[in-house]
Amino acid sequence: MTFKDSALQFQIVDITTLQPDAKHARQNISEDNLKGLVNSIEKIGMIQPIVVHPADAAGRYTVIAGERRRQAAIIAGEKTVPVVIRSCPPEETLKVQVFENIGLGVRSALEPRDMANAIQAISEHFATLEEAAQYFGRAPTWLSQATAAANLSEKVTALLDSGKIASTSTAVQLEKLAKKNEAKAESLIDQIEQLPEGEKVSKKIVDNALSEASGRRKKTEDATPTAEPALSSATASPQAPAPAVTVLSSEEAPAAAVATSAPAQARSKVSPGKVKLVAELLGMNEEDEDEILVRLIDEFLAMKNA
């Protein structure tokens, strides 16, 4: 009988009756990599049961899927764990393990704004930012970034919902711009609101405006005296508080983003295929390379319990 057709039985079992699969696809699991999962189990228990199959007549089981959960539960001090008992032919065990971990649509992350709203709702039950961050096993800076998309202004939210802002990360950048230079942000928002239906602003336009407001862009221009590509044939006057929005359609956006940010193009050496794969695994927009990098750094630091 195949794994797909096998009957399943749910039980709560003594964790000592579980043994690892010696041929498991995941051969190396460091304790550092389990910190986030250990914190989750300590706070709310094991969410997903471990999938096992009978190992012998003495009532022991071999883990098919969930070895990290088993090890994390031991570290968390759990005495019993939920399991789903299923028969699994040896030739199918590896296939089950691969499909559980392969990602690519098998397991999809929440959309960034949905995740931000959920984290924000949980955080509101704590008296301070530090207490909420500690609950998630993360640093307060992570919590601030993770909930940024839950605190968008009405105008920015409306632009995001209408599709005139391509991604949640772009909306967050626009909010950062408003905090640094409200006039520049309002000017840019006004221009975005005038975009025809079906067209959207490039994230690079918002990034450039934020860089100008932060003073970083001027330093770059002083250090590298090269002519900056014009954003459009109708470039805004020097007195204009925000750059003209010219990268509109989804087809034009990637090309224009490259044209307006030569330094970023030179920095990026990762193949587009890899960026797309990581974006899919994180549930993010593949065009937001900077945001993907930030998310990866956050996850790495959290894993190391920074």
Q: For residue 212, which amino acid is it?
A: E
Of 3.40.50.80, 3.40.50.880, 3.40.50.300, 3.90.1530.10, which CATH number belongs to 2-89? Answer: 3.90.1530.10
pLDDT for position 299: 66
CA distances from residue 216 to 163, 176, 219 in whole angstroms, order as listed: 29, 14, 5
Task: Report residue 306 CA to chain centroid gap.
Answer: 18
pLDDT for position 113: 86
pLDDT for position 221: 47
> 59-87, pLDDT tens digit by residue?
999 999 999 999 999 999 999 999 999 99
Find out whether 25 and 100 touch, Cβ atoms under 8 Å.
Answer: no
pLDDT for position 250: 41
pLDDT for position 258: 34
Q: Which residue's entry shows tokens 């030179």?
A: 266
Euclidean distance between CA atoms 145 and 154, whole angstroms: 19
Over the chain (306 residues), the average pLDDT of each successive run of 10 is 91 96 85 90 95 92 94 96 94 88 66 89 94 91 90 91 87 91 92 89 88 66 42 37 49 38 49 75 66 72 52
pLDDT for position 145: 86
Phi, psi for 77 (deg, rounded to 5):
85, 15
Return the structure tokens found at 254. 């990637």
